[in-house]
Amino acid sequence: MDAPEQPQIYLITPPAFELSSFPDRLARVLDRAPIACLRLSLATRDEDTLCRAADALREVAHARDVALVIADHQLLAERLGLDGVHLGDAARSVRAARKALGPDAIVGAHCGASRHDGITAGEAGADYVSFGPVAGAGLGDGRLAGDDLFEWWSEMIEIPVVAEGGLTPAHVAALAPHTDFFGIGEEIWSTDDPAAALDTLRAAFG
């Protein structure tokens, strides 16, 4: 994903959803605002569940020219004709994923709050690096990706960066000058009206 002039939305699915209803909820959100990319990020490791979800969401996303990547399951990305993979293990799998998926696939890496991991992922061929959470419970050791990390990255590194995890309008407003994408997921899916919740966050982009 190329770095945009203004921050764009990188939409993340909930960790679990009903396949009978979620594609329609997703379609309403995709029709409400420009979305740069969609990440299928289910907690389950059941292959049948993942495949059925990917098939359903690919139809919704591709009908609107939105790229669909899957969290961690590189082999399914290949098999199901998805646009790429989002890796949750920082830089460790980036090189192998790039080699397997080819130069045109999207390969992203979540690097927690580590500058070093982000740089290493970029050198290994990641198209983007995501940092987070920016607020909330933090990582396993309680760490958060602070504003200073995004400020430093935007000044020093050309690889696009995603801010995700615990976003509020205040966080969005503070980070908008320093991030390329906002990874938005539970912030909207946990509400009764995800499209309206997305509007609230978008209003803070500036």
Q: What is the CATH number of the domain that holds 125?
A: 3.20.20.70
In the structure encoding, which two tokens stand for residue 103, read together?
């130069």
Q: What is the mean pLDDT of residues 11-39?
A: 97
Q: Is 162 helix (H, G, I), strand (E, B) or coil?
A: strand
Nearest to 56 by CA among 17, 106, 8, 4: 17
Range in 57-66, 91-100, 137-146, 180-189 the model is least confident about = 137-146
Within 8 A by CB and 6+ apart from 49, the residues are 42
Tell me if 26 is assigned to some domain.
Answer: yes
Tell me if 2 is assigned to some domain.
Answer: no
- The boundaries of the domain holding residue 117 are 8-205
Chain centroid to CA 103 = 19
- Strand 84-87, strand 67-71: pairing: parallel
Tell me if 155 is assigned to some domain.
Answer: yes
Q: How many domains does the chain have?
A: 1
pLDDT over 90 percentage in the chain: 91
Q: What is the mean pLDDT of residues 169-182?
A: 96
pLDDT given at position 136: 80
Q: What is the pTM of this model?
A: 0.95
Tell me if 3 is assigned to some domain.
Answer: no
Within 8 A by CB and 6+ apart from 68, the residues are 37, 38, 39, 40, 54, 57, 58, 61, 62, 82, 83
Tell me if 142 is assigned to some domain.
Answer: yes
The mean of the pLDDT values for the chain is 95
Within 8 A by CB and 6+ apart from 29, the residues are 11, 35, 188, 194, 195, 198
pLDDT tens by residue, 120-154 = 999 999 999 999 999 986 556 678 999 999 999 99
| Side chain identity at residue 145, one-letter code | A
